């Protein structure tokens, strides 16, 4: 009787040991998967694409740029998280399909140029106004590409080297036409709704100097007067409601 009990106990121990080995195998597989995923994440990223347009994201990452390590970002903060990478990845921002005002993005891009000189940034926009494209190019000091171009041409422009001429659909490519820090500060104050007299007082400048700055910027981007420039600034300060269909 005792011999039978001993054999039964051995069988139970064997079954228990075998059942315990199964989770160990799965734990090991999960560990290996995590390590593989971690190694993939450690590979340097070639391009950062800031957009909420799923169609554009899938087209570039799964079809047209499969050999380019592209990371899809949803916020500006997520983009800056890659600033420590060497070499710094190219940055493409889809101005039409993010939940941020264009002026906010342009202000961030200007700060990035100071933080990381030589950074490669490309902006995509389908603006119907050549003056708006001119303003964006002057403010961001980077390439501005019409996002509604044929895909072959769009890819060609996206893959150009940073030193390539900035393609803008308004013949606005002269480096000396970039907005200066003083001009940008005045424009941002105007966009916030401050009066020209208040801006002049805060900057310690005469009123006519602020008026002259607005008139000069207006002429450089092809607008008739400073009133049109102020209207453009307000348009770029809000998130257009027609972008909602991209989400």
The answer on pLDDT for 114 being more than 60 is yes
Q: Are residues 72 and 139 in the same domain?
A: yes
- Name every residue whose Cβ is closer than 8 Å to that of residue 215 and which is 6 or more positions away in sequence: 225, 226
- The domain tally of the chain equals 3
Same domain, yes or no: 164 and 235: no
pTM (2 d.p.): 0.75
Per-residue pLDDT for 164 more than 50? Answer: no
Q: Residue 188 sits in a domain of what CATH number? A: 1.10.10.10
Phi, psi of 90 (to 5 degrees): -70, 150
Q: Which of 127, 155, 178 is the endpoint of a domain?
A: 178
Pick 182 or 166 by higher pLDDT.
Answer: 182
77 with 17, same domain: the answer is no
CA angle 99/103/109 to nearest 5° reads: 95
Is the pLDDT at 159 greater than 90? The verdict is no
Kindly state the average pLDDT of the residues 225-238. Answer: 94
Same domain (yes/no): 7, 102 = no
Same domain, 3 and 27: yes
pLDDT in tens, 142-154: 989 988 888 888 8
Same domain, yes or no, for 198 and 142? Answer: no
48 and 153 housed in the same domain: yes
Residues 6+ apart with CB under 8 A from 187: 139, 179, 214, 217, 233
Enclosing domain of residue 34: 1-42
């Amino acid at each position: 009787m005792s011999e039978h009990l001993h054999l039964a106990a051995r069988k139970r121990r064997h079954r228990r040991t075998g059942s315990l080995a199964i989770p160990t195998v799965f734990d090991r597989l999960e560990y290996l998967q995590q390590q593989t995923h971690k190694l993939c994440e450690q590979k340097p990223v070639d391009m950062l694409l800031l957009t909420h347009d799923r169609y554009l994201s899938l087209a570039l990452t799964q079809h047209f740029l499969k050999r380019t390590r592209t990371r899809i970002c949803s916020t500006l903060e997520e983009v800056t998280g890659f600033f420590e990478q060497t070499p710094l990845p190219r940055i493409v921002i889809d101005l039409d399909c993010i939940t941020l005002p264009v002026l906010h993005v342009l202000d961030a891009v200007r700060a990035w140029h100071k933080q990381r000189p030589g950074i490669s940034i490309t902006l995509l926009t389908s603006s119907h106004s050549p003056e708006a494209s001119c303003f964006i190019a002057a403010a961001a000091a980077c390439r501005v590409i019409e996002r509604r171009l044929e895909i072959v041409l769009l890819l060609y422009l996206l893959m150009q080297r940073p030193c390539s001429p900035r393609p803008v659909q308004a013949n606005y490519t002269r480096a000396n036409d970039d907005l200066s820090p003083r001009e940008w500060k005045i424009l941002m104050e105007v966009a916030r709704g401050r009066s020209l007299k208040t801006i002049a007082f805060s900057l310690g400048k005469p009123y006519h100097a602020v008026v002259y700055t607005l008139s000069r910027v207006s002429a450089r981007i092809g607008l008739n007067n400073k009133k049109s420039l102020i209207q453009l600034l307000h348009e770029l300060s809000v998130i257009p409601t027609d972008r909602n269909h991209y989400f």
